[in-house]
Amino acid sequence: MIKTGITLCQFLVLLFYFPLHMALAAEYTAHGIVDFRVSQIDSLDKGYLTSGQGKLGLGDGLHFSVAQIGADLSISWENGLSAHGVVNAYPKATSDGESTVLGVTEAYLKYRSLPTSSGYRFQTKVGIFYPEISLENNAYAWASKDTLDSSTINTWLGEEIRVLGSEFKVTRLGRMNNNKYDLSLSATAFINNDPAGALLAWHGWTISNRQTLWTEQRAFPWFPARADGQALAGQADKSDPFFELDHRVGFHARGEWKLRGKGEISAGYYDNRATPYKVIDGQYGWRTRFYHVGARWRFSKNLSLTAQYLSGDTLMQSESQVDVVNNDYASAFVALHYNWQAVVANKKHKSTLRIEDFSVTDNDDTWGDNNNEQGQALTLNHSYRLSKPWFLSAEFTLIDSHRPARYYTAQPVDLIERQWQLAARYFF
């Protein structure tokens, strides 16, 4: 904790001290989102955010909440350099859920060059940021653009995948090469993501809009292997996903092909290169690796698709290097978006249908820690743009999952959860 705290402080000082010494004209911008919601949930008593076995953020019942207050603050200069700080707050919902939290989710410096005469552009990013994977969370403050809650893939990325590192990206612009497509390749070297994989193992795939704040620790459900004398007795009560254990540098590489006016196809590979048998303050190293492929495509002016598949493994061992958790995992979603311009003669109505399939396969023999999981989810969203900044949305989510670990807390292994939400989201 202290270690990552210092790193963050040092970084923030750099971020805000450095700009003061820049003689160039700077532009300050503040963007963000405020998300007001009413949620009716039919699930278990406790959602995954409060160490429950429910797959949704909140538990059974009716909840009123400000689901996210996010601000994306930036300073940019003429020369292509910019500094970004993203702050998110998750106030406590009525009747249930975790306490109010506020913190930093991203903080980085970015430099984007001008394209060369042959159409190559270079971009570097240094700091705390999301590796470029999500195809859904591209609104300000990493909010999901077309749905209120992210898919299982992106809920996980928001919870456990964040890095302190540097990314280098090169883009070849087709416009300057008489091509209709742009190509880009990026490579990221990073630290501070060693326990990633723990929460996915212990609460499985989930659906919400919650992002873990930098240095924040997250709860997970109880299971017998955590009892005294058992294999995971040494594990801390909460997991600290953005912790650095072994000073080994992880990496993420990604490529993207983008056809102007049509869409894009991307693929990437992440490996945190954590030492799986190292443990500090109850936080273990989890060697987590996955690849991801995704596409966004416009079939017509009104109909478009977003789809992504992520698959990988994670390994956590005892200090004597015996496998304690050895999981494979995969999740995929296909989302179709329809703009009702043809019917309503404006761009104010948009519907999204998203279907998902997810799984975790437990390959180890640890007693009292069954991580197996299988499930499907369906999300239906309809959003109406009331005015430029205001979006009204109605969203229904259905999750059907088989999770043997629920047996440990006397809850049904096979569970169908439902969530109805109404939201007013204000973007600025």
Binding mask 194-213 for another protein (x = CB under 8 A): --------------------
Nearest to 67 by CA among 252, 269, 218, 210: 210
Site for another protein contains 117 (CB under 8 A): yes
Asked whether position 410 contacts another protein by CB under 8 A, the answer is no
354, β-bridge pairs: 335, 379
Q: Which residues contact 105 (CB under 8 A, 6 or more apart)?
A: 70, 86, 87, 88, 141, 142, 162, 211, 212, 213, 214
Mapping DSSP to helix (H, G, I), strand (E, B) and coil, where does residue 303 land?
A: strand
Q: Which is nearer to another protein, 132 or 356 (CB)?
A: 132
Say how far residue 309 (Cα) sits from the centre of its chain: 14
116 binds another protein (CB under 8 A): yes
List Cβ neighbours of 152 (8 Å cut-off, separation of 6 or more). Answer: 205, 206, 207, 331, 333, 356, 358, 377
Backbone angles phi, psi at 412, to 5 degrees: -65, 130
Binding range to another protein, per CB under 8 A, among 25-33, 34-42, 197-205, 392-400? 25-33
Binding flag, residue 226, another protein (CB under 8 A): no
**Residue number, 16 or 428, with CB nearest to another protein:** 428
Under rule CB under 8 A, residue 382 binds another protein? no
Element (H, E) at 90: strand 81-90
**Region from 3-11, 74-82, 221-229, 309-317 binding another protein, contact rule CB under 8 A:** 74-82
CA pair distance 240, 217, nearest whole angstrom? 4
Residue 33 or 201 with smaller CB distance to another protein: 33
Pick 139 or 148: Cβ nearer another protein: 139
Q: Which of 358, 366, 45 is nearest to 221 (CA)?
A: 45
Residue 228 burial (10 A CB sphere; 0-12, 13-18, 19+):
exposed
SS3 428: coil
Q: How far is the CB of 326 from another protein (least distance, A)?
A: 32
Q: Residue 163 interacts with another protein (CB under 8 A)?
A: no
Query: Using the rule CB under 8 A, is 296 a contact of another protein?
Result: yes
Q: Quick check: 112 binds another protein (CB under 8 A)?
A: yes
Give whichever of 229 and 261 is closer to another protein, judged by the CB atom: 261
> Is 119 a residue that touches another protein (CB under 8 A)?
yes
Lookup: tokens for 317: 């061992």
| Binding flag, residue 349, another protein (CB under 8 A) | no
Are 220 and 198 in contact by the 8 Å Cβ rule? The answer is yes
CB of 408 to another protein, least distance (A): 38
- Is 92 an interacting residue with respect to another protein (CB under 8 A)? no
Phi, psi at 408, each rounded to 5°: -60, -30
Residue type, 114: L
Smallest separation (angstroms) from another protein to the CB of 427: 4
Is 80 a binding residue for another protein by CB under 8 A? The answer is: yes
Among 61, 91, 103, 263, binds another protein (CB under 8 A): 263
DSSP state of 273: -
Select the residue interacting with another protein from 13, 175, 233, 416 (CB under 8 A). Answer: 175
- Tell whether residue 140 is a contact of another protein (CB under 8 A): yes
Residues in touch with another protein (CB under 8 A): 27, 31, 33, 72, 76, 78, 80, 112, 114-117, 119, 121, 129-130, 132, 134, 137-142, 145, 173, 175-176, 182, 260-264, 296, 298, 347, 388, 427-428
